[in-house]
């Protein structure tokens, strides 16, 4: 368990330096940034007002966040202070209960924000924010839905503004291997399955899959199942599944598990055979892409996986990715699975509301885009400012989404999403039927009542 960070977020923030003009990473007026959106911020005057922000980011990400907040501080005159903690989830509850919450909290998962909203610890976002998100974010209604919760009054309100997103619906490959074999990037799930079978017919092995992750073994399979749910069922079915209105034993869920099994439980389709899937560490699983001859041609994993590629690998040259395609026959658009952080007001003030308005400005996104590790569904940003062409390509996947859904296991109760769902997938690749595994997971959920 993470050690609790016992000093309140607000108090800790006071110990940090403020964001100010000297911290501006890019000089106003230079580069391809939307400087008009920065100049417009100057109409809001908050001279001397303190705005505190508490979030999960430490290290480089904290520095990136502070570099963004510096523009808000410089434009408005506010004194903005950020503090990060690796015990954010525990500490924000402690602070809220003690009456010492920061103005803004940055939640890494919607579930905790929803719980705090129901207890009256969050303030609904300003009127018109939901309409703005629908109009300006790709798959805008998805982001409104993900940030809308029941408040203490029992009514639904928009509490969360999503900012900084991750993409999981990706398939990785080696361009040189594809070129040598004459393979093309599949545009539909039907084509992806046909490619899988063709690679076998050509004498190769299509996939590298590994579920090993120590005490968290099994989680990579949950991403597979979630992607398959979004490619076989309408978004509302996915939503009902993560809240248990649609049970794990429902044919829709069993079907998604079996869609994963089509790839993972076929000895011909997986490097090392299906019996190695559960024991192969997910960090080691992409290595087969780089062997000569290749042990596999395809690997399904989120945007972070290049961290485990061989040293010196240049993404976009030595390795690349494509969008995990949807079924053409099912007409479900282009769903994208991912995660992200949402910003919520935990202590209302003019500065807190102004900071949420700041997140609507392209400059608030572009400053981080021009550095590292940032994706956004905001359609008005200039994607040419991305410092990394790989991130730009990932962002194009995000901007092309017709539906976005948050990692389902992260939205489920911990005992299920980070427990029986994980172990159930290990049992499934080990040979248990999808029906039996689904029943076991459902039993664990029912036991929580």
Residue 119 is predicted with a pLDDT of 97
Residue 19 is predicted with a pLDDT of 54
* Number of CB atoms found within 10 A of residue 109's CB: 17
Residue 23 is predicted with a pLDDT of 74
pTM (two decimals):
0.90
**Parallel/antiparallel/unpaired status of strands 335-345 and 156-158:** unpaired
405 phi, psi to nearest 5 deg? -135, 140
Residue 4 is predicted with a pLDDT of 31
The model's pLDDT over 74-120, given as tens digits with 9 standing for 90+, comes to 999 999 999 999 999 999 999 999 999 999 999 998 999 999 999 99
The model's pLDDT over 401-432, given as tens digits with 9 standing for 90+, comes to 999 999 999 999 999 999 999 999 999 999 99
124 phi, psi to nearest 5 deg? -55, 145
All residue ranges of the chain with pLDDT < 70 are 1-22
Q: Are 113 and 60 in contact (CB under 8 A)?
A: no
Residue 131 is predicted with a pLDDT of 98
Q: Are 206 and 199 in contact (CB under 8 A)?
A: yes
Residue 164 is predicted with a pLDDT of 96
Tell me whether residue 182 is exposed, middle or buried, using C-beta atoms within 10 angstroms of its C-beta: 0 to 12, 13 to 18, 19 or more.
exposed
Q: Are 131 and 327 in contact (CB under 8 A)?
A: no
Residue 3 is predicted with a pLDDT of 29
**Matching CATH topology for 9-167+338-406 and 170-335+410-446?**
yes
Tell me whether residue 314 is exposed, middle or buried, using C-beta atoms within 10 angstroms of its C-beta: 0 to 12, 13 to 18, 19 or more.
exposed
The model's pLDDT over 30-66, given as tens digits with 9 standing for 90+, comes to 999 999 999 999 999 999 999 999 999 999 999 999 9
Residue count of the chain, please give it: 449
**Parallel/antiparallel/unpaired status of strands 50-55 and 79-84:** parallel
Locate the domains of the chain by residue range.
Answer: 9-167+338-406, 170-335+410-446
> Which top CATH class is 9-167+338-406?
alpha beta
Residue 109 is predicted with a pLDDT of 86
**What average pLDDT does the structure give for the chain?**
94
> Which top CATH class is 170-335+410-446?
alpha beta
């Amino acid at each position: 368990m993470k050690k609790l960070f016992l000093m309140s977020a607000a108090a800790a923030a006071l110990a940090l330096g403020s964001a100010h003009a000297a911290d501006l990473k890019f000089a106003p007026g230079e580069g391809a940034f939307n400087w008009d959106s920065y100049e417009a911020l100057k109409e809001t005057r908050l001279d001397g007002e303190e705005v505190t922000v508490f979030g999960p980011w430490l290290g480089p990400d904290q520095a990136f966040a502070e570099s963004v907040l510096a523009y808000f501080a410089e434009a408005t005159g506010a004194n903005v202070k950020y503090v990060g903690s690796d015990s954010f989830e525990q500490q924000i509850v402690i602070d809220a209960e003690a009456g010492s919450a920061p103005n803004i909290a940055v939640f890494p998962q919607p579930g905790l924000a929803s719980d705090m909203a129901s207890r009256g610890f969050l303030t609904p976002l300003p009127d018109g924010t939901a309409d703005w998100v629908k109009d300006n974010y790709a798959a805008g209604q998805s982001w409104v839905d993900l940030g809308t919760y029941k408040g203490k009054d029992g009514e639904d309100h928009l509490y969360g503004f999503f900012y900084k997103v991750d993409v999981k619906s990706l398939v990785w490959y080696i361009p040189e291997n594809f070129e040598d074999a004459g393979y093309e990037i599949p545009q539909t799930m039907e084509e992806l399955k046909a490619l899988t079978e063709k690679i076998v017919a050509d004498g190769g092995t299509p996939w590298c899959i590994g579920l090993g992750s120590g005490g968290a073994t099994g989680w990579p399979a949950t991403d597979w199942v979630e992607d398959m749910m979004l490619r076989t069922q309408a978004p509302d079915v996915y939503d009902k599944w993560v809240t248990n209105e649609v049970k794990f034993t429902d044919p829709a869920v069993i079907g998604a598990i079996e869609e994963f099994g089509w790839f993972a439980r076929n000895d011909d389709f997986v490097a090392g055979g299906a019996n190695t899937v559960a024991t192969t560490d997910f960090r080691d699983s992409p290595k087969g892409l780089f062997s000569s001859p290749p042990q596999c041609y395809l690997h399904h994993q989120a945007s972070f996986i290049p961290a485990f590629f061989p040293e010196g690998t240049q993404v976009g040259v030595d390795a690349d990715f494509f969008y995990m395609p949807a079924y053409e026959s099912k007409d479900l658009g282009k769903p994208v699975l991912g995660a992200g952080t949402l910003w919520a007001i935990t202590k209302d003030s003019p500065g807190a509301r102004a900071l949420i308005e700041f997140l609507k400005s392209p400059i608030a996104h572009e400053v981080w885009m021009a550095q590292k590790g940032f994706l956004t569904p905001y359609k008005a940003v200039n994607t040419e400012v991305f410092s990394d062409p790989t991130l730009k390509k990932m962002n194009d996947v995000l901007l092309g989404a017709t539906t976005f859904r948050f990692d389902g296991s992260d939205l489920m109760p911990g005992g299920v999403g980070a427990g029986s769902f994980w172990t159930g997938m290990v049992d499934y690749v080990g040979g248990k039927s999808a029906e039996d595994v689904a029943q076991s997971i459902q039993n664990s959920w029912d036991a929580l009542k």
